[in-house]
Amino acid sequence: MKIGLFGGTFNPVHSGHVLIAEWIRCEIEIETVYFIPTAVPPHRPDDKSIIDIKHRCAMVRLAIEGNPHFKISDHESNPGSVSYAVDTVRAFKENMRLSKESIYYLIGADNLFHLAAWKEQETLSELCKIVVARRPSVAMEEIHDTLSDRIIVQTPLIDISASDIRKRVSHNLSIRYMVPPKVESYIHSHKLYGAGNDR
């Protein structure tokens, strides 16, 4: 059995997230991809743009609804708690009794520039296989030398960012197709990211 672990703030989860996760799942033949919203990202502990974890988890559930290969994990969702990838991978590995060859940690290529600063980065590489999704803003040849034990998947280059979505919402601009329909409805019904503000 192969599992994928896809951590992030998902603020909000968008169409790029789910498409890339599905693409990687098919390419590597992963049985289940776990989306893991983090309550407090260690590299942005004081970021005021990150909304309450309960809303971000709710949106992830809506985004992955109907895909039997996608699940959400609340492992990093404890409010106010900072989580680290290496601890999460270690917990999944021990709880599910999986080998390194069965656990795939999904990251975007832009994260590779900061991987050395991650907690126990070398240990993370020993516990799982790191799968890298291409990003439009990253030239892969710039980071080729750091990828000796990484798996690069030739994913579609989708230039959607959560920050752009938040900005568009706050300016009452459409985010249709940038996020799954039910996520769009959730954002507006709960007035997240300044939705519904008069401008």
Q: What is the pLDDT of residues 66-108, one digit of tens each?
A: 999 999 999 999 988 899 999 999 999 999 999 999 999 999 8
**What CA–CA distances, in Å, run from 47 to 52, 78, 192?**
12, 17, 16
Q: What are phi and psi of 33, to 5 degrees?
A: -105, 125
Match domain 3-159 to its CATH number in 3.40.50.620, 3.40.50.1980, 3.40.190.10, 3.40.50.2300. Answer: 3.40.50.620
pLDDT digits (tens, 9 = 90+) for 128-162: 999 988 777 666 666 654 545 678 888 888 889 99
N residues, the chain: 199
Beta strand spans in the chain (E): 3-8, 32-37, 70-72, 103-108, 129-133, 151-153
Cis link prior to 42 (omega < 30° from 0)? Answer: no
Indicate the domain borders of the chain.
3-159
